[in-house]
Copies of this chain bind each other. A is one copy, B any other.
Amino acid sequence: MTSDTKVLLDHGSGGKIAHSMISEMIVPLFDNPFLSKQDDGALIDFKGTRIAFSTDSYVVDPIFFPGGNIGDLAVNGTVNDLAMCGAHPLYISSALILEEGFPMDDLEKILETMSCAAKRAGVFIVTGDTKVVPRGKADKIFINTSGIGMVPRGVKLSGSNALPGDKIILSGTMADHGIAVLTAREGLGISLDIMSDSVPLNKMVKSLLGTLPRDSVHVLRDPTRGGIGTTLNEIASQSGVTIRIKENDIPMRDSVKSTCELLGFDPLYIANEGKMVAVVAPEAAHEALAIIRREEYGKDAAIIGEVAERVGAEPSAFSRPGYVVMETIIGGSRIVDMLTGEQLPRIC
């Protein structure tokens, strides 16, 4: 049981405190083999047909931001969670919690965006729910999307499948979504044309898994809340390996980089909403990179590191179970821990 007596913003961060609440409180209570895997969605066998099932609520503030709004974020987010399980996303639910007085025009705009996002991703929004709470009891609009996808035969992805020697591919520039939302929220007067990267990744995943030998792709994850740093830590921890990345190889827009420097944010922990981390067998890594780069949303993809070693019983300072080590631009080494605390609440 967590030692906090009240829920903190950190519990929703996707970082360390959120993980400890999930693994110490939620997983034991809901104990079952599906949940305890702690991947982006659950894999369920339905009479020989494997389906992936995932859910996410969206509470982003502000609800409209450069490059998108809460509507496409909600659709793309669940589409991507399913895709990261290796599934073809097919059906999505949409459950709205609205604050009394919310402008009907904004609602229509958001629903139109959801409809477009669903078409773009090739999924149907098949069921829904609408609740309204009195003024002041919610902040404008919260959206939950849950989704179902079909997992092709032979696809077997999990955060626990990373193997020593595997290459780590990031499908594009880091930290765009978080910085776009932040600048919109705080009215910082920074106008750097930083746009959210909210896009569906299912086509990219389909190309990757459909072209490469099935057993060469080991892990797929979308580094949303908690950023690349937290996602790599999850993989390292689930697989019991050390991951080494090179700061210099991580793609990042100059405008995002300078905004992070200006505001003191570490981009490794900033949310992405249209990026994928792929852990791929070394012999397939260059083909994987080429496939991703041919995709509309993968032009800036890069190999950013590799899985170093499986961690034994006698961990040393730089090879403790589940560690991520980054070779910095200036040549040193730094341990990249899971996000502690919350840099940016309500980023998705």
Contact = CB atoms under 8 A, between A and B. Distances in A.
10 contacts: A22-B130, A29-B108, A30-B114, A30-B118, A34-B126, A44-B90, A59-B97, A93-B146, A133-B345, A146-B146
Contacts of A128: 22, 26, 30, 35, 55
B1 A125 contact: no
A5 interface: yes
B42 A91 contact: yes
A7 B94 contact: no
Contacts of A41: 127
A275 B206 CA distance: 44
Interface in A26-60: 26, 29-32, 34-35, 41-42, 44, 46-47, 49, 51, 53-59
Contact of A49 (B46, B105, B115): B46
Contacts of A115: 29-31
A32 B124 contact: yes
A9 interface: yes
A99 B142 CA distance: 13
A343 to B, nearest CB: 14
Nearest to A138: B138
Interface string A96-136: 11111111110110011011001000001111111111101
A314 to B, nearest CB: 35
A18 interface: yes
A126 B7 contact: no
Q: How large is the interface on A (under 10, 10 to 19, 20 to 34, 35 or more residues)?
A: 35 or more
A21 interface: yes
Interface of A: 1-2, 4-13, 18, 21-22, 25-26, 29-32, 34-35, 41-42, 44, 46-47, 49, 51, 53-59, 61, 90-91, 93-105, 107-108, 111-112, 114-115, 118, 124-134, 136-139, 142, 144, 146, 148, 150, 345-346
Most chain B beta-carbon contacts within 10 A, residue among A58, A100, A144, A150: A144
A234 to B, nearest CB: 15
A142 B133 CA distance: 11
Q: Pick the 4 closest A-B CB pairs, nearest first.
A: A12-B132, A146-B146, A55-B93, A42-B126
A35 B125 contact: yes
B345 A129 contact: no
Contact of A98 (B5, B11, B118, B146): B11
Contact of A95 (B44, B47, B55): B55
A53 B133 contact: no
Given A35-B127, A131-B57, A99 B7 contact: yes
A103 B54 contact: no
Contact of A8 (B46, B59, B90, B100): B100
